[in-house]
């Protein structure tokens, strides 16, 4: 989508990242999880001090996706080097979060952010792009499979008191 803008985030973007994160995570996962587990997860994962730390961690980069009119539509979080949550391959870049607000879905923006991540990985000399996706998120799994990602493993993801499984997907560049 050529009329959208992707820009690198700064600490000044903390509140919009927090808002988009809570909104999109809730929209996507609340129907399949208990309110208690959702509340517990959101309180920790999107706590301002946690996001503040993530924003200044070496190897972590957030990108805000804005519409042509300047409306925040989503964001992307990439992890390189020691900032990655797993070591899946040498010369890899991790997509930890790719969030599109509900009102902007089905417009090609998820693909646009993922293509940006792929280009960023290539420009950084990486050989792989990888991510984790909840085993029950069928739409996301189909989206990544269509773009050439393949499953190479899994890991656990703690959502409140519920231990869930994320599938680890990788794409060779």
Q: How many residues does the chain have?
A: 173
DSSP assignment string, 90-130: TTEEEEEEEEE-GGGTTSSHHHHHHHHHHHHHHHTT-SEEE
Are 162 and 33 in contact, with CB atoms under 8 Å apart? yes
Q: What is the DSSP letter of 2?
A: T
Catalytic residue among 41, 75, 99, 144: 144
The reply to whether 144 belongs to the active site is: yes
Biggest alpha carbon–alpha carbon distance for the chain: 42
Catalytic positions: 144
């Amino acid at each position: 989508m050529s009329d959208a803008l992707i820009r690198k985030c700064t600490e000044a973007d903390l509140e919009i990242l927090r808002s988009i994160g809570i909104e999109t995570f809730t929209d996507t996962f609340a129907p399949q999880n208990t309110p208690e587990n959702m509340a517990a997860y959101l309180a920790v994962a999107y706590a301002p001090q946690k996001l503040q730390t993530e924003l200044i961690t070496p190897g972590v980069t957030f990108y805000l996706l804005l519409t042509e009119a300047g409306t925040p539509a989503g964001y992307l979080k990439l992890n390189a080097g020691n900032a990655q949550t797993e070591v899946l391959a040498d010369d890899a870049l991790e997509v930890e979060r790719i969030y599109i607000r509900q009102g902007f879905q089905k417009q090609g923006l998820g693909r646009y952010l993922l293509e940006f991540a792929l280009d960023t990985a290539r420009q950084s000399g990486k050989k792989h792009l990888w991510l984790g996706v909840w085993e029950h998120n069928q739409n996301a799994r189909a989206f990544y499979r269509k773009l050439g990602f393949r499953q190479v493993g899994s890991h656990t993801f703690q959502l409140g008191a519920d231990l869930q499984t994320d599938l680890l997907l990788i794409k060779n560049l």
